[in-house]
A and B are shown apart, each in its own frame.
Chain A
Amino acid sequence: MEDGFAALSKIVSERESEIVAHWRQLLVTASGGTGRIKDAEVEKQCRDFLSAFAAGLGAGATVATDPAFDSARELLGGVSQSRANQGFTPTETATFVFSLKEPLFEQVRASYPDDTARVASLGWDMTQILDQLGLYTMEVYQRSREDVVRRQQDEIAELSTPVVKLWEGILALPLIGTLDSARTQVVMENLLQAIVDQSADLAIIDITGVPTVDTLVAQHLLKTIAAARLMGADCIVSGIRPQIAQTMVHLGVELDVVSKATLADALALAFQRTGRTVVRKAVAKG
């Protein structure tokens, strides 16, 4: 008897049009007619995948990782990736492969109308391989989603480095998130530029939003503080939480600047240093 996978390959290539027609219909129904992907595009994806699938099976592949399935996997990877980027759910994405089972099984049955044992064994082979390809689809989907998140993180990092003017000559730099080297460079340049532009005497670097202060972060802070000093501004570091302060002591890093628990305390000190006092006046009620 002919090997099951070779038989499947033959069925897929000989009955491609029937399979595609049925498969497409299932995909359209599954997407709830949202029309997020154009019909023509779906049809092309279906056809391309089927021919790569048939070729892989024909070349003797019996598991999804077989090199003979390289182009089938590549196609699925592309489908997965574009769906992940468009915000499709995992289910919607996996449906692409899984919904091929029904039309394919139907054609297997039609090919062997009188041989139930053959139909059952081919059905089993088909299910095995499509499940594996479905899992592969999910892996790619997952990786693509992670890439999307990473890109968003990069964008957030760019956005969240403003230098804020608190008062005449007093700047604040609220740092939020991870201080990797690329971002720190931007932060430092922004701060130095602002110090020059506004002839600032004091810069408050607030690290309340920095989750981890390791020696690399400390080194970036030290460099920033030294550069600010060269431009004529003193720094105050605020927002060092107690657990971070303790960790810094164990690491052995010293920032060698005045530090304050909160940004408010730092501002009070900045006022004091620049000869200002804050006075509270009675406020008329009503």
Chain B
Amino acid sequence: MPIRESDDVVRVRQAVRVQAVAAGLGLVDQTKIVTAASELARNTLDYGLGGTVRIETFTGNPRRGVRLTFEDNGPGIPDLERALTDGYTTGGGLGLGLSGARRLCNEFEIESVVGQGTRITIARWK
């Protein structure tokens, strides 16, 4: 689904919540993946200049959960390690979105090419 405006962030949260429930995640895991999704969707919008998210559920053995892939064609992140440092922000935020999302998920992968864009995949399972 698209992430083009602020309301899309709300829609992403709602869609992720629905999928997390469908995948059978408990309340705590739902809240964690929804919150992580909110952070990454907001970054996609604010820093990635808009993009998309793909939401997938997996219900097979041995795990049940949700996987999200955020993609944008924005400016990219020049220094990933720095961006993942608690408190680092270039946009006047708290600088806890990326690092916090990583702590909230079981899986966290980030690829970014300066001048081309950013792709982040996260998953939460039980």
Residues of chain B within 8 A (CB-CB) of A150 are: 7
Residue-wise, chain B 12-48 has the 8 Å CB interface mask toward A (1 for contact) of: 0100000000000001101110110011001000000
What distance in Å separates the Cβ of A152 from its nearest Cβ neighbour in chain B? 13
Residues of chain A within 8 A (CB-CB) of B38 are: 212, 214, 216
Residues of chain B within 8 A (CB-CB) of A180 are: 6, 10
A251 with B10: CB separation less than 8 A: no
Chain A residue, CB-CB nearest to B102: A250
Query: Dominant SS at the B interface?
Result: helix
Decide: A250 near B103, CB < 8 A? Known: A214-B35, A214-B38: yes
Query: Dominant SS at the A interface?
Result: helix
B94 with A253: CB separation less than 8 A: yes
Residue-wise, chain A 156-190 has the 8 Å CB interface mask toward B (1 for contact) of: 00000000000000000000001011000000000
Binds B, one of A64-72, A79-87, A95-103, A239-247: A239-247
| Complex Cα gap A246–B100 (Å) | 12
| Complex Cα gap A19–B43 (Å) | 54
- Per the 8 Å Cβ criterion, residues 71-118 of A in contact with B are none
B10 with A247: CB separation less than 8 A: no
| Complex Cα gap A253–B38 (Å) | 15
Spell out A's residues near B (CB within 8 Å). 150, 178, 180-181, 211-216, 218-219, 242-244, 246-247, 250-253
20 contacts between A and B (CB under 8 A): A178-B10, A180-B6, A212-B34, A212-B35, A214-B38, A216-B93, A218-B94, A219-B93, A219-B94, A244-B31, A247-B28, A247-B31, A247-B32, A247-B104, A250-B32, A251-B96, A252-B86, A252-B99, A252-B103, A253-B94
Q: Beyond the given A216-B38, A243-B28, A250-B100, please list 10 additional residue pairs across the A-B interface where CB-CB is below 8 A.
A: A211-B13, A212-B34, A212-B38, A215-B100, A218-B94, A243-B31, A247-B31, A247-B32, A250-B103, A252-B96
Spell out B's residues near A (CB within 8 Å). 6-7, 10, 13, 27-28, 30-32, 34-35, 38-39, 42, 86, 93-94, 96-97, 99-100, 103-104
